[in-house]
Amino acid sequence: MSTTRLQEVQICFGFGKQTDIATANLVTSMWRLKKLNAQLANPKLNTENDAEEYGKGHEFATTTFKTSWDTGGTLEKYLSAEMAAWAMCFGLGKVVKSGSNPNFVYTCTPLIPANGDATELPYFSFVEQIRPGAGSVIDRLLSGCAVEGWTITIGSGPGRANSKITVEFHGSGKLTEPSAIAMPAATVEKLLPSASLTLSINGVDYVTSKNIVSLETSWKNNIRMDAGFYPGSGFQTSGDATTGAIRGRLEFGNRAGALKFVARFDHNSTELTLLKAQTTGTAAIHLQFDANNSLDITWQKVAFATAEVGETDTIVTVAVEATPIYDTTNGIITAVAKCGVDAICQ
């Protein structure tokens, strides 16, 4: 009997956006990337039964019903220019593309409904396969997926593990098995290493001063999952009410950004002073592979929420959590991602 190893799993997903939640990506708008986490994007069927109903003559269930479907997953990766561009585009939602090969530029900001933007995030399809074909172990396509959030972590040290990104995504519940997708060739990624970081927060250049130890920044859309089910949202098999409901929309909820970092602390450090004064300023993060492959994240206004002095490897450090604040002119966050792949989220 053949043993299946999880390392055999292959994934691809849409770098281009779906035309709507129900229309899956074609393989021509999908790319194949590697990931770090072993977790599979297992679909979940939710069921209910009639145990609580009267008239059966007893308190036990006599039948079950397919209620709804949940799909989604998590991607953990070493941070690359390609993945950074994808996460910013699909995670924030509003994208302006410029540039040309090999330097496509994606300027990304959050969707603002008051300015006429949609409340639905851009959708993509996700494919997961293990031995597709006649002897398939897993071969499925999840369509109508949207990014729930991303987290970028930067640490000290020379290895790839010191520059990582984690992306969570949710799906409409629509599942296609087999996927009917021929896995595309692997995309060659250009890493954005920790050693390339430039960082300025609240007027302090943490790289020039050689004080930065680690950094984490994130965005969360808090998708309104229950609101995806509405009268007419649809079923796993169109028109068949016995197959379980799927979502007809994935709208963002109360979105939130976060920024925290650890830096060496000495006589000239200003973190405690800035905290006490509630001084506001920008936070500018830059990582790059080369001039054509980079990521810039700007939190337009931040104030320190906490600053606690402690130690890291016996060196006195300060751990700071900053609160991103909406700026009436520049908004809350702008991400500019450069890479050599065209048509991301287009």
pLDDT tens digits, one per residue of 196-231: 999 999 999 999 999 999 999 999 999 999 999 999
**CA–CA separation, 14 and 18 (whole Å):** 8
What's the pTM?
Answer: 0.97
CA distances from 79 to 128, 268, 332 (A): 21, 32, 23
pLDDT tens digits, one per residue of 298-340: 999 999 999 999 999 999 999 999 999 999 999 999 999 999 9
Write down the pLDDT at residue 1: 59
Cβ atoms of 307 and 320 within 8 Å: the answer is yes
Domain boundaries along the sequence of the chain: 6-40+66-339
**CA–CA separation, 326 and 71 (whole Å):** 32
Average pLDDT over residues 272-290: 99
- How does the average pLDDT of the chain come out, rounded? 98
β-sheet bridge partners, residue 96 = 107
Write down the pLDDT at residue 2: 78
Q: Cα 279 vs. chain centroid, distance in angstroms? A: 30
**CA–CA separation, 200 and 286 (whole Å):** 9
Determine how β-strand 175-176 pairs with β-strand 64-78.
Answer: unpaired
Nearest to 9 by CA among 130, 122, 99, 92: 130
β-sheet bridge partners, residue 103 = 100
Cβ atoms of 302 and 279 within 8 Å: the answer is no
pLDDT tens digits, one per residue of 110-164: 999 999 999 999 999 999 999 999 889 999 999 999 999 999 999 999 999 999 9
Q: Which residues contact 105 (CB under 8 A, 6 or more apart)?
A: 97, 98, 99, 336, 337, 338
**CA–CA separation, 168 and 126 (whole Å):** 12
